């Protein structure tokens, strides 16, 4: 079946669905199942109608790789594109990883220098506290 025939079929299916849904919508439903059927009729009818209109005027316009034979050039193009994308992704990933490694190395050096500075200052403060008569006992400071 062609796309135009499918479009007409969808529009034809939408008419009874919409009629059932909208004619019973105002009356209301006494049963939960009936309410579900009415709502499905309304939404299904609208969806089928607009889907049919879209297919009738726009159509699909492209052939999918799954709709071709094994020897089709379309299938080859799709496969080549996937391989190129995978190769590019690997190349970008490697470059990104190298950049990230450089950033982390720079950051590690900064942190090591900061740690050395803090350790030096901490020792100076400890010496000053000891010179003023403070004693470190069990991890806390106290007077002699």
Buried b (16+ CB within 10 A) or exposed e, 24-38: beeeeeeeeeeeebb
SS3 138: coil
Under-70 pLDDT residues of the chain: 59-92
Q: Determine the pLDDT at residue 85.
A: 53
**What φ, ψ does residue 47 adopt, rounded to 5°?**
-65, -45
The tally of CA atoms less than 13 A away on the side-chain side of residue 118 is: 6
- Residue 50: what pLDDT? 92
Give the integer Cα–Cα distance in Å for 52 and 7. 4
The pLDDT assigned to 121 comes to 94
Rounded Cα distance between 92 and 75, Å, is: 26
Task: Specify the pLDDT at position 77.
Answer: 58
pTM of full prediction above 0.85: no
């Amino acid at each position: 079946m062609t796309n135009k025939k499918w479009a007409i079929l969808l529009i034809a299916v939408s008419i009874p669905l919409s009629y059932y849904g909208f004619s019973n919508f105002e009356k209301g439903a006494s049963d939960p199942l009936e309410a579900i059927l009415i709502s499905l009729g309304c939404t299904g009818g609208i969806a089928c109608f607009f889907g049919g209109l879209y297919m009738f005027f726009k159509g699909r316009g492209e052939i999918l790789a799954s709709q071709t034979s094994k020897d089709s050039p379309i299938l080859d193009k799709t496969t080549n594109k996937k391989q190129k994308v995978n190769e590019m992704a690997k190349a970008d990933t490697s470059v990104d990883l190298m950049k990230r490694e450089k950033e982390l190395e720079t950051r590690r050096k900064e942190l090591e220098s900061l740690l050395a500075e803090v350790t030096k200052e901490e020792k100076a403060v400890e010496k000053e506290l000891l010179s003023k008569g403070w004693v470190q006992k069990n991890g806390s400071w106290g007077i002699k």
